[in-house]
Amino acid sequence: MRAWTFDFNDRIKRELTSEFPDNDDTTLNAVATGIAGMFFNSDALVSLGGMKQLHDASKQAALLLVSVLEE
């Protein structure tokens, strides 16, 4: 599971790197890790139902993280 988690994070980072190549590795890694963490949190809570507010806030947070790379 650990290897899968690191691979998932690396895949997000590779996507971000291809879209925002002018950013440093530390920033790209931080944004990728934040997005992955929000995904895992949202995914873990989906079985509770009625989590639209959390899902929407997580999406907004991910977009805010990505906006750091656009600067």
Domain ranges of the chain: 2-70
Q: What is the per-residue pLDDT across 14-70, written as a single tens digit (0 to 9) for each?
A: 999 999 999 999 999 999 999 999 999 988 888 888 889 989 999 999 999 999 999
Is the pLDDT at 10 greater than 90? The verdict is yes
Neighbours of 21 (CB within 10 A): 9
- In this prediction, residue 29 carries a pLDDT of 97
CA 51 to mean position of chain CA atoms: 18
CB-based contacts of 9, cutoff 8 Å, min separation 6: 32, 33, 36
Task: For 14-58, give the DSSP string.
Answer: HHHHHH-TTS-HHHHHHHHHHHHHHHHHHHHHGGG---HHHHHHH
